[in-house]
Structure 1
Amino acid sequence: MSTHDTTPATDDSIVEEYVLGVRILEGGVDDRYRFEAPEHTEIAFDDLADARLYADVYFDVNGFVEDGTGERGVPPEVVQAGKDTLAAYLVTLPWADVNWVASFYGATPTEIERYLSWVRDRAEEIRARVNAQQLE
């Protein structure tokens, strides 16, 4: 498990910095987008949109443990959060996209995009509340 490091490696740049020590970095050996959060396992994405959506899922469920997911499936916090959050999580996986998730759910890509927007909106509200509390 990786821990939060406030100083990025010399060849990494911060793309997005959120509250509570969560951020997305770009660079490294493979020039991918790396999601970082305290006590969270290292995970990287080829696409910045996937990394941002993953961060939104992370905030939507108040954090989750990804370590060992390959052996145990989807993190329970994500499954328990509901259909829209699970759809958003699935879209971030390297083998899935909006069309695959729509097929999995028996829905249209438009419906899945709506689910993703709900997750993004909730995550933004959560980050705004945390930010406001930190300013008090």
Structure 2
Amino acid sequence: MSQTNESGIPQVHREYLLGVRIVTVDGADGNGTQYRFEAPDHRGVRFDDPDSAELYADVYFDVNGFQEEGTGDRGVPPEIIQAGRDTLAAYFLTQPYTDLNWVASFYGKRPPEIERYIETVRKRAEEIRTGAAGMGME
């Protein structure tokens, strides 16, 4: 269930353009807060921390949107596979079965190199959002 304000409106953690946002929701076990990524034509995905939800949003913008439905529990959407090593690393980092060391091991890299991949994706996503906003997209 979404956490709401006094007016019953879901609490938005972060709102992006094109109907993409992250809202706060009650944790699955009823304790704590989770963060749900929402976008048009995309099933909501929950995260335990806001950083993972924001990184997921950055990946979403980096590849111009994707859908996970039909990829299975551990599948990766084709748009992400095609986007390249840095985007795939960022996507992996948003998954509950990974962490920075797992992703670094997967690539045969050191964690600081993976952090650079992540920062590249974040910067590219911000440039995309800025460009879209500059073109009048809301």
Map of 1:28 onto structure 2: 26
Match of 1:75 in 2: 77
CA distance in 1, matches of 2:73, 2:36: 21
- Does the CA contact (< 8 Å) of 1:11 and 1:27 recur in 2? no
> Distance between the aligned counterparts of 2:73 and 2:35, measured in 1?
23
- Unaligned segments of structure 1, at least 5 residues: 1-6
Greater share of helix residues, 1 or 2? 1
Question: How many pairs were matched up?
Answer: 129
Task: In structure 2, give the amino acid aligned to 1:90.
Answer: F
Deviations 1:33-62 (A, max 9, x none): 000000001210001100000000000000
Q: CA deviation at 1:71?
A: 5.7
Tell me the SS of whatever aligns to 2:88: helix
16-25 or 67-76, which deviates more: 67-76
Contact in 2 for aligned 1:90/1:96 (Cα 8 Å): yes
Question: Structure 2: where are the runs of 5+ without partners?
Answer: none
Amino acid at match of 1:20: L
Task: State whether residues 12 and 28 of structure 1, in contact with CA within 8 Å, keep that contact through their aligned partners in structure 2.
Answer: no
The answer on 1:13 being equivalent to 2:11 is yes
TM-score (norm. length: structure 1): 0.88
- Who is 2:39 aligned against? 37
DSSP-derived class of the 1:20 partner: coil
User: Are the counterparts in 2 of residues 11 and 28 from structure 1 also a CA contact under 8 Å?
Assistant: no
Report whether the alignment pairs 1:132 with 2:134.
yes
Amino acid at match of 1:106: G
Change (3 A) 1:107 1:43: same
Q: What is the CA distance between 1:70 and its match in structure 2?
A: 1.5
The aligned counterpart of 1:95 is: 97
- What is the match of residue 3 of structure 1? none
Deviates more, 1:29-38 or 1:124-133: 29-38
Percent of pairs with identical residues: 58
TM-align CA RMSD: 2.1
